[in-house]
Amino acid sequence: MNQINVLFVCLGNICRSPMAEGIFKDVVEREGLSKHFNIDSAGTSTYHIDKNPDSRAIDTCEKKGIILCHKGKEFKAVDLQNQQYILAMDKSNLENISKVFSTASYTAKVLLMRDFDEKFKGQDVPDPYYGGMDGFSDVFEMLERSSYELLHYIRSEHSI
């Protein structure tokens, strides 16, 4: 069976999307499904290419037993062909992705991350970059809730 490719996307790829990548990997691993997935993240800007995640994102995840091993990279048109699921952290990044896929052929399902957060469908995962640690903790909780629902959705689509 081919692996299911999942890509999380935010603006700079140092806060929300690497957190989502790490959390989703953890959820998938807990369910014993790691062999079925290739999970990554990217940013729609080039601000933080090859940079580590924000130290507050790293600290927040480490407190929950999740180690973030990621270097910032840019979302590219080829991702629309290589990924099966692309999860935007907010409507602004969904719009940025839409600009790319308006000129590219693609097979990926492009979705908003919080569409998998039962009580908050359609809302953004707020960018915690300019705030304090509480913002990172709040984002962690949102991403964790959404990750379980996302996995349930993908499992139902792929019978795994």
Q: Which are the catalytic amino acids?
A: 10, 16, 127
Dist. CA 61–CA 66, nearest whole Å: 5
Give the three-state DSSP class for 24.
helix
SS3 86: strand
> How many residues in the chain?
160
DSSP state of 70: -
Half-sphere exposure (CA, 13 Å, Cβ side) for 60?
28
Q: Which two tokens stand for residue 96?
A: 């940025």
Q: How far apart are CA 29 and CA 35, in angstroms?
A: 9
